[in-house]
Chain A
């Protein structure tokens, strides 16, 4: 794959959505959950860690931005940065404990932490507002030297802001995934024993992946809270973790752009179907089963397959994420 293809695809999505979609909020949501799904993908698709704890970092981001913008009036970019820090710190803590275990135990630990975080958020009403969440989060304009550069009041203005952050984060994550570090993560995913035997510090690598994932997810949570104006308890629920995971899997693991596809698929389907049929999640459950059974590389894998068929190329489709030059 050409070096810039994915980046161009991401840019295309950012530019096309305002043309095709009526709701700026929905478009922003696609990018925000795209960010969260990319964070999840970095763990699942690149490191082989199935985390049910992404809702923790998403919730941490939401609460952080809500607290900093309402109680301690910090400048908004600083609040977003702080949300990334708390997301990353939360991930460091969860990761530090969870990566002591492998396989199923690891999965269950992340889920246990997700539940624990939910009950902490529910109990600590002073900080989180408990069941009500934190309300009235402002969306301050971007200013410099007293001049308003970019107001964020309308949904499409906010979309522009989210799109900019999304593209930068996408580009950075792409660079991370293609760096030596990213390639080493793939080695951990493909054969953990071997990577360990070569001498890589597995725990450190996994922890680093966790921190990056947590920071990105925290950022997504913060943007989400700014978008809807509240930091609800729902952002810390198991349901959020599950949703992020489902988007990632349906889009396809091991490819960052696929996460954006997954997010778009989930949210557009939700938007379209929930009006027609409130029980649309039934369909989603079935899609998830179908993906697990028959198309394990998700929508992206399906698209690739179709593309190759059109091109008349038969036979094995190259897995884009396997370590290149790894001939044994």
Chain B
């Protein structure tokens, strides 16, 4: 089979994970107007909680359900106890408080699980590969693509088809207007931040069997999520999807063409998009 076709399909698999990682960051930015540097920390927690649960002998599927809820609750608490108190201050402190949080979480993870990485086993049903003529692909990765695709549809419905979703989108336009209409904006802030944390954790759980869990994956994921969101357009759901797929494919194809430069290429792709379309491919101009 054509190696590039395989790499493109691989890239779609990576890209869907990148989408899941970035979409929370993007929605949180759209509504709360700040970049959550602790987003990678929630992803990190997702991967390690999954590792811990499988080590306790619990099933991966239970982790896939429980971990996002737990981390989402942590996100909800973070917004309520910390972020709420910096909204009134200068913009830098919104970012800095999450930088502090990310550092603290990373160190807590090392404290609890050690500085070296741990691996998470692929669940039994999904072990092995799918063969389809000359097409060979790991079952688990196919599952990740299908699962994130379903999630993407659900998230899209949540944002576009529900009352909460319209409040979130309206809040992205004008927070004052929404609160004047009698909607408790702070509750929406908490919910959206929790949703962002939960999606990041979900990406962490899904990534754990592929790349294991290690303490510095949070920083790395944060960098990737930034790239995706900037390429796609801040605050845009479809932008996160397009950006995720694009970056995933670029990285995957480049890893055959120029392995050392694969990571460099995604940052070059980002700089190019920013120079040509400063608000991202699908972002709105402010």
Mask, B11-53, CB within 8 Å of A = 1, is: 0000000000000000001000111000000000000000000
Nearest-neighbor residue (CB-CB) of B258 within chain A? A123
Q: Is B77 an interface residue (CB 8 A)?
A: no
Is B92 a contact partner of A50 (Cβ separation < 8 A)? yes
Nearest-neighbor residue (CB-CB) of A290 within chain B? B100
Is A288 a contact partner of B267 (Cβ separation < 8 A)? no
CB distance from A109 to the nearest CB of B (A): 6
Is B227 a contact partner of A289 (Cβ separation < 8 A)? no
Q: Is B125 an interface residue (CB 8 A)?
A: no
Is B35 a contact partner of A288 (Cβ separation < 8 A)? no
Is B271 a contact partner of A112 (Cβ separation < 8 A)? yes
Is B111 a contact partner of A108 (Cβ separation < 8 A)? no
- Alpha-carbon separation in the docked complex, A100 to B271 (Å): 13
Nearest-neighbor residue (CB-CB) of A50 within chain B? B92
Nearest-neighbor residue (CB-CB) of B226 within chain A? A108
Interface range for B: 35 or more
Q: Is A285 an interface residue (CB 8 A)?
A: yes
Q: Is A279 an interface residue (CB 8 A)?
A: yes
Which residues of chain A come closer than 8 Å to B99, judged between CB atoms?
Answer: 242, 245-246, 288
Nearest-neighbor residue (CB-CB) of B81 within chain A? A293
CB distance from A49 to the nearest CB of B (A): 9
CB distance from B116 to the nearest CB of A (A): 14
Q: Is A69 an interface residue (CB 8 A)?
A: no
- Alpha-carbon separation in the docked complex, A123 to B100 (Å): 30
- Alpha-carbon separation in the docked complex, A119 to B106 (Å): 22
CB distance from A203 to the nearest CB of B (A): 14
Q: Is B274 an interface residue (CB 8 A)?
A: yes
- Alpha-carbon separation in the docked complex, A105 to B275 (Å): 12
Residue from B86, B101, B261, B275 within 8 A of A285 (CB atoms): B101
Residue from A111, A119, A249, A290 within 8 A of B226 (CB atoms): A111
Nearest-neighbor residue (CB-CB) of B107 within chain A? A282
Contact residues, A127-168 vs B (CB, 8 A): none
Mask, A104-115, CB within 8 Å of B = 1, is: 110111011101
Contact residues, B73-104 vs A (CB, 8 A): 82, 85-86, 89-93, 95-97, 99-104
Q: Is A74 an interface residue (CB 8 A)?
A: no
Which residues of chain B come closer than 8 Å to A245, judged between CB atoms?
Answer: 96, 99
Q: Is B210 an interface residue (CB 8 A)?
A: no
Given contacts A285-B101, A286-B100, 10 further A-B pairs with CB under 8 A are: A50-B95, A104-B33, A104-B35, A105-B230, A108-B230, A238-B223, A249-B92, A281-B107, A282-B108, A288-B99
The 6 closest A-B pairs by CB, nearest first: A288-B100, A285-B104, A285-B103, A282-B107, A289-B100, A292-B97
Binding site for B on A (CB under 8 A): 44, 50, 97, 100-101, 103-105, 107-109, 111-113, 115-116, 119-120, 122-123, 238, 242, 245-246, 249, 253, 279, 281-282, 284-293, 296
List 25 A-B residue pairs with CB atoms under 8 Å apart, sorted by A's residue number: A44-B92, A97-B274, A100-B278, A107-B35, A107-B95, A109-B274, A112-B270, A112-B274, A113-B271, A116-B264, A123-B261, A238-B219, A246-B99, A281-B103, A282-B107, A285-B107, A288-B97, A288-B100, A289-B82, A289-B101, A292-B96, A292-B97, A293-B85, A296-B89, A296-B93
